[in-house]
C-alpha cells in the first residue's frame, strides 16, 4: 500500500472537503479529525449498525470512549470489518461492559505503587513516568482503560516536575520509561524540555519512550521530531504492533526514520483473542518487524483490567506461540512472553519447559524438535565465593563494591546473604510459634 492511497484520499475528502495529501500526512490533522462517534465510523466505512446495536455501543463509549485516527481507520477492510484486526482494536465492542469476577480497575496497582502522581516505581532501578494523559487512538485493549479520556489533556511542565524531582532525588533510578497515554502526543518542544531535564540527572543512564504512534499515527514521526530525539541518546523506543496488517508503507517510513536516527527499536505486542492469537500470525508479524529493524521485545498476556474479557486468551495459547518460535526462527525474532502480575508484582516471563530432568552431574534437556539430550555438568567447577567486594574479585569487574542487600529469590541463592527461606506475611504456622507474641 502506498502512502495516501485512493481509499485514504476518499476518506480524507469525506472528513474535510478538498483535503490534500499534505493534510493527510500532517499528524495534527489526524488528531483534530480523530473519529469519536459511532456515526462517524458508519459514514466513513459505509457500514450500518442496527438501532439495538447502536444503543449498546453508545453505552459502551459512555464508559470507555472511542478515538480513531483517520489513518488507522483507513486500514480497515470495510467488507469484512467484524473480523478486521484494526477494527477490533479500535472500535468498541459491546462485550466491554461485561465485567467478570476477577476483573480489576487497576490490576497492576500502578496507582498504588506511585510515590508521586504520574510516576510508578515498581522495580529497583527503573521508573515509569506517565507524561501524557492522551493517545492518538484509544486501543480497545488498553490496560489503562480506567484512565482513557479521563483527563484528556497534555500535562503542564509543572505537572511533570514532581516526577522529575522524584527521579533526581532517587539515585537508584538508572532507567526512565516515558509512557502515558502516548508521550508523542506532546509537542516537540515539550519533549525536548523533558528529555533535557531527565538527561541532566547524572544517575539516569538510559531513557525509553513507549509510543504507538508508528502504528496509529505514523506521520507523527517527522524529520523535526527525529532531529530533536537524536540529541538525547541513549534513547530507546518501544512501539506496539499487534498484527502484520499494521505494517504499512507509512509505518515503515516512520520506523526507518527512527532507526536511521540510531534509536534502538523494540515492539511490545499484546496477545488478543480474535486478533492475533495464532502462532503463524505472530511469526509473520515478528519477521516483518525485524525486517524493519524492530526487535520483538515483549508479548503480553492480556491484563485483567475491566472491559477486556473478550480479548483474553488462555496462557496456554501464549506458550503454544512461544513453542512455535524458539528454534523455528531467528532468536531475535522471539519476544519474551510475560504476564504482568495482578497486584503489581511486575512482569513474569513464561515459556515452554525445556528442562526434562536432572541428576548430580547431568541435566536432561529437550529441543524444539523434541530431541532429548544430556548436558554434562562440569566436574571441576570452582565457584567464586561472592562477598560482594567487586574491587578485589578475580573477575575484575573493578566497580565499587556491590550492595549487600539481595531481593527475593536472589537472596536465597546468594553467598553473602544468609536468608534461609521466604515466608508470606501472616503465615499461620509462624503465628503459632511460641515466641510469636
Give contact residues for ligand PLP (rule: CB under 6 A): 120, 122-123, 126, 128, 177, 347
340 belongs to the catalytic site: yes
Among candidate residues 26, 123, 297, 386, the one labeled active-site is 123
Among candidate residues 144, 145, 208, 283, the one labeled active-site is 144
Among candidate residues 126, 208, 220, 312, the one labeled active-site is 126
Nearer CB in complex with ligand PLP: 11/204 = 204
278 belongs to the catalytic site: no
71 belongs to the catalytic site: no
Among candidate residues 135, 138, 140, 145, the one labeled active-site is 135
Nearer CB in complex with ligand PLP: 93/133 = 133
Provide the minimum distance between the beta carbon of 179 and ligand PLP in the complex, in angstroms, as a whole number. 8
Provide the minimum distance between the beta carbon of 297 and ligand PLP in the complex, in angstroms, as a whole number. 7
Among candidate residues 106, 113, 277, 303, the one labeled active-site is 303
Provide the minimum distance between the beta carbon of 54 and ligand PLP in the complex, in angstroms, as a whole number. 36
Among candidate residues 142, 145, 257, 288, the one labeled active-site is 142
Residue 279 Cα distances to 100, 251, 276, 290, 351, angstroms: 27, 23, 8, 17, 14
303 belongs to the catalytic site: yes
291 belongs to the catalytic site: no
Provide the minimum distance between the beta carbon of 359 and ligand PLP in the complex, in angstroms, as a whole number. 34
Provide the minimum distance between the beta carbon of 123 and ligand PLP in the complex, in angstroms, as a whole number. 5
123 belongs to the catalytic site: yes
Q: How far is CA 35 from the centre of its chain?
A: 24
375 belongs to the catalytic site: no
Nearer CB in complex with ligand PLP: 86/108 = 108
Taking residue 162's Cβ as centre, other Cβ atoms within 10 Å add up to: 14
Nearer CB in complex with ligand PLP: 93/120 = 120
DSSP class per residue in 163-180: HHHHHHT-TT--EEEEES
**Residue 348, strand partner residues:** 339
Angle at 293 between CA 288 and CA 298, to 5 degrees: 75
Nearer CB in complex with ligand PLP: 46/349 = 349
Give the separation between CA 147 and CA 64, rounded to whole angstroms: 9
> In degrees rounded to 5, what are phi and psi of residue 364?
-100, 125
Q: Residue 437: which residues within 8 A CB-CB, separation 6 or more? A: none
**Cβ density class 185-220: b for 16+ within 10 Å, e for less:** bbeeebbbebbebbbebeebeebbbbbbbbbbbbbb
Give the separation between CA 151 and CA 149, rounded to whole angstroms: 6
Q: How far is CA 9 from the centre of its chain?
A: 32
Provide the minimum distance between the beta carbon of 241 and ligand PLP in the complex, in angstroms, as a whole number. 17
Provide the minimum distance between the beta carbon of 215 and ligand PLP in the complex, in angstroms, as a whole number. 18
Nearer CB in complex with ligand PLP: 44/135 = 135
Q: Check if the beta carbon of residue 34 is closer than 8 Å to that of residue 69.
A: yes
Task: Look at strands 294-300 and 265-270 and give their pairing.
Answer: parallel
18 belongs to the catalytic site: no
- The helix or strand, by DSSP H or E, that contains position 127, with its residue range, turns out to be strand 126-130
135 belongs to the catalytic site: yes
Nearer CB in complex with ligand PLP: 197/303 = 303
Among candidate residues 4, 106, 139, 220, the one labeled active-site is 139
Give the separation between CA 334 and CA 290, rounded to whole angstroms: 10
Burial class (CB in 10 A: 0-12, 13-18, 19+), 169: exposed
Catalytic residue IDs: 122-123, 126, 135, 139, 142, 144, 303, 340, 347
Amino acid at each position: 500500500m502506498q502512502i495516501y492511497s485512493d481509499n485514504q484520499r476518499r476518506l480524507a475528502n469525506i472528513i474535510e472537503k478538498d483535503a490534500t495529501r499534505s493534510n493527510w500526512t500532517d499528524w495534527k490533522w489526524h488528531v483534530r479529525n480523530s473519529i469519536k462517534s459511532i456515526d462517524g465510523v458508519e459514514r466513513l466505512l459505509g457500514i450500518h449498525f442496527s438501532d439495538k446495536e447502536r444503543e449498546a455501543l453508545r453505552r459502551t463509549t459512555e464508559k470507555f470512549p472511542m478515538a480513531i485516527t483517520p489513518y488507522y481507520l483507513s486500514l480497515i477492510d470495510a467488507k469484512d470489518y467484524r473480523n478486521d484486526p484494526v477494527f477490533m482494536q479500535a472500535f468498541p465492542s459491546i462485550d466491554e461492559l461485561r465485567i467478570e469476577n476477577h476483573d480489576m480497575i487497576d490490576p497492576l496497582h500502578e496507582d498504588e505503587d506511585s510515590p508521586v502522581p504520574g510516576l510508578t516505581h515498581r522495580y529497583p532501578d527503573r521508573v515509569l513516568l506517565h507524561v501524557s494523559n492522551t493517545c492518538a487512538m484509544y486501543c480497545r485493549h488498553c490496560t489503562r482503560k480506567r484512565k482513557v479520556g479521563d483527563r484528556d489533556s497534555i500535562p503542564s511542565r509543572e505537572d511533570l516536575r514532581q516526577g522529575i524531582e522524584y527521579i533526581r532525588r532517587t539515585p537508584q533510578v538508572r532507567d526512565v520509561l516515558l509512557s502515558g497515554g502516548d508521550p508523542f502526543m506532546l509537542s516537540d518542544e515539550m519533549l525536548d524540555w523533558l528529555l533535557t531535564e531527565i538527561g541532566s540527572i547524572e544517575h539516569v543512564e538510559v531513557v525509553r519512550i513507549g509510543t504507538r504512534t508508528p502504528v496509529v499515527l505514523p506521520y507523527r514521526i517527522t524529520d523535526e521530531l527525529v532531529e530533536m530525539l537524536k540529541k538525547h541518546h541513549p534513547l530507546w523506543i518501544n512501539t506496539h504492533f499487534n498484527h502484520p496488517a499494521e505494517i504499512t508503507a507509512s509505518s515503515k517510513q516512520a520506523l526507518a526514520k527512527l532507526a536511521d536516527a540510531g534509536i534502538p527499536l523494540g515492539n511490545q505486542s499484546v496477545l488478543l483473542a480474535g486478533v492475533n492469537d495464532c502462532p503463524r500470525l505472530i511469526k509473520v508479524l515478528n519477521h516483518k518487524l525485524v525486517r524493519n529493524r524492530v526487535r520483538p521485545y515483549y508479548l503480553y498476556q492480556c491484563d485483567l483490567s475491566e472491559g477486556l474479557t473478550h480479548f483474553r486468551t488462555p496462557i496456554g495459547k501464549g506458550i503454544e506461540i512461544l513453542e512455535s518460535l524458539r528454534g523455528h526462527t531467528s532468536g531475535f525474532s522471539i519476544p519474551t512472553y510475560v504476564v504482568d502480575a495482578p497486584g503489581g508484582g511486575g512482569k513474569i516471563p513464561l515459556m515452554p519447559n525445556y528442562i526434562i530432568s536432572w541428576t548430580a552431574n547431568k541435566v536432561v534437556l529437550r529441543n524444539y524438535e523434541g530431541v532429548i539430550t544430556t548436558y554434562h555438568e562440569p566436574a571441576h567447577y570452582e565457584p567464586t565465593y561472592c562477598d560482594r567486594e567487586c574491587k578485589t574479585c578475580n573477575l575484575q569487574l573493578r566497580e565499587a563494591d556491590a550492595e549487600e542487600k539481595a531481593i527475593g529469590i536472589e537472596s536465597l541463592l546468594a553467598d553473602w546473604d544468609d536468608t534461609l527461606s521466604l515466608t508470606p506475611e501472616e503465615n499461620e504456622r509462624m503465628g503459632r510459634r511460641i515466641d510469636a507474641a
